[in-house]
Amino acid sequence: MVVGNENAEIVKARIDKRDYRRIVLRNSLQALIITDPDTDKCAASMNVGVGYFCDPDGLEGLAHFLEHMLFYASEKYPVEDSYSKYITEHGGSTNAFTSSENTNYFFDVNTDGFEEALDRFAQFFTKPLMSADATMREIKAVDSENQKNLLSDGWRMNQLQKHLTAEDHPYHKFSTGNWDTLEVKPKAKGIDTRNELIKFHEENYSANLMQLVVYTNESLDKIQNLVEEKFQDIRNTNRGCFRTSAQPCKSEHLQIIVRTVPIKQGHKLRVVWPVTPEILHYIEGPCRYLGHLIGHEGEGSLYYILKKLGWATSLSAGESDLSLDYSFFKVVIDLTDAGHEHMQDIVGLLFKYIKLLQQSGVCKWIFEELSAVCETKFHYQDKSPPSDYVVNIASNMQYYPPKDWLAGSSLPSKFSSSVIQMVLDQLSQNNVRIFWESKSFEGHTDKVEPWYGTAYSIEKITASTIEGWVLSAPDENMHLPAPNKFIPTDLSLKVVPEKVKFPVLLSRSSYSALWYKPDTLFSTPKAYVKINFNCPHAGNSPEAEILTHIFTQLLMDYLNDNAYYAQVAGLHYNISHTDAGFQVNLLGYNHKLRVLLETIFEEIATFRVKTDRFSVIKEMVTKEYQNFKYQQPYQQAMYYCSLILQDQTWPWVEQLEVLPGLQAEDLAKFVPVMLSRTFLECYIAVG
């Protein structure tokens, strides 16, 4: 039985040919069903509005543990792991993740196996077994997952930021769980973890907190019947959504500098402010607007200045958390060795740029340009794999009204200077948290984060101290970005007289080959260009391979000041070294793609080594190789596999050995030799 059946207006992309229907089952479970006659994969995602914020005290990781246990078996399908086995046998994959306020389960599978897969999936939430036999194995699996994360700087720094918040706020919690929290400590207190797990499931997993997305090639009516049949028996206890009125940060957690020791080589600066959640103002998009400006990389931007000074190799800015109750705005800067020595100047320049935004006022033309870029990106987006698509929509359903389930916060369309100004005012010197990561702090810290063992120390700072940094920072000409000349205005499709099934060789010479294929499948105004520069000299020694790598990184570095505008406008490019030389890739709207391609070729043709930038890139590449040993085992295995299979590749250890002796003059001599024997293979697909 369906109590709600709405063909409510759901905003979808102009080129989206799929059909959608929203239904609400009698148990209050909301579902969005999608039909795509062209798909060869079906998928489903169930979002449950319960996450680790609901973990009981003393049972850290229980929500994550439940996520693991639901996969094992159900009353209808009692054989353990039969669900995962069925999915694999039918060409699919399955996974799940636990976040702060939600847990998401999903799978994809070949079309012929979907109906039974969906039935098995539904039993997770209807009558899961959670047998005693599986409990110990899955606690070990959770612990193994946590062990994997212990050497990840991303996980370590995220937990440290959570640790330095109010202990009574759920944001402070340890989310993953481990052997200690799920077995040792509960047992010492006489607590049966499995009983607590069943209790947690019964109290929290209610149909009214669930959002389901189903994606198949069948008709909407047939999908609806399947969903009704398989999901209407999930119990509804009318549990309320988890909410907290408190904020994670109290006064003692603000105006601090936290010096911390990472696992990997390198220096990083994270500047964080608690702000009003974007989700409350997603139509106005204040964090998107501010992230666009503070994270800009064109001439006059904060990053442009830091790069010119030789202090930074990357910068990103924007909101970092999805919640109705709290949020953070973060600026993350990868520092060079020189930048590490100028931390105060860098923070001073950041606040100087924020002052520039205050003095300039909220610019309507910048918002409208950003809004136009977002609108074009949404309406001409490429098709995502079905599993990614359903996960994204199911997650959106928890927070957004039905009309915005597909778009989420990706379409800021309402200009409100007051809303943007409100968040800009929150990026203040009184409200800041600075996390400064470097191996150089080893032996100079006095505290340890309990879950990951991260060494750190805290120092309080005042607004007047930061203002002093602002006043003493270099006097650089920072300014707002210029209008973006790469934004496409012609989104028409190219006329193709007949369907071309195979690529056509348009030209071939002793120097190059050009292949062309019109897009007759996706019907988007985009082009894809791939150019292989096959250079025999590029990999004939460890020195040659590392010089080729530095060359490609320098090209990306030189192009960034102007080509960053292209990336903002949806024209993406990458230059990377390959086992045969190097490769240029471009993807985006075909209207302005030629301008970007010509810019790249001109940079290659007129390449000159800039000594200061060579030093920065060499330092960055050196750390990249030094950190190889900290990659996940599967990543290292893939690397060594490719090392065996590919010609003209040299072990990273040998490349690291020769790196210290390489100078800018070596690259200046090498590049003309490398390019002197080059065969270009060009592949172009145009919509």
Active site residues: 67, 138
Which of 54, 50, 143 is CA-nearest to residue 451?
143
CA distance 623 to 313: 12
Q: Which token pair is 373?
A: 């870029």
What is the distance, to the nearest Å, from the Cα of residue 306 to the centroid of all Cα atoms in its chain? 24
Rounded-to-10 torsion of CA 435, 441, 446, 447: 40
> How would DSSP label each residue in 138-199?
HHHHHHHHHHHHTT-HHHHHHHHHHHTS-TTSGGGS--S--HIIIIIHHHHTT--HHHHHHH
Q: Which token pair is 206?
A: 């209610």
**Range list of β-strands (E), 491-645:** 504-508, 512-518, 526-534, 572-578, 581-589
Describe the crossing of helices 364-379 and 286-294 by its angle, rounded to 10 degrees.
100
SS3 600: helix
Which of 289, 115, 341 is CA-nearest to residue 214?
115
| Strand partners of residue 575 | 584
CA distance 110 to 92: 6
Give 16-22's long-range contacts (Cβ < 8 A, gap of 24+). Answer: 19/220, 20/406, 21/220, 21/223, 21/224, 22/402, 22/405
Q: Within 532-580, where are the H helices?
A: 542-568
Helix or strand run (H / E) with residue 107: strand 103-110
User: 145-180 burial by CB neighbour count: b if 16+ within 10 A, else e?
Assistant: ebeebeeebebbbebbbbbbbeeebbbebbbbbbbe
Instruction: Give the CA diameter of the chain.
Output: 78
CA distance 164 to 378: 37
- Whether the CB-CB separation of 289 and 371 falls below 8 Å is answered with no
Classify residue 273 by its DSSP letter: E
CA distance 513 to 355: 52
Which of 234, 201, 203 is CA-nearest to residue 63?
201
Which of 622, 563, 618 is CA-nearest to residue 596?
563
Instruction: Dihedral sign for Cα 635, 640, 642, 647, please.
Output: positive
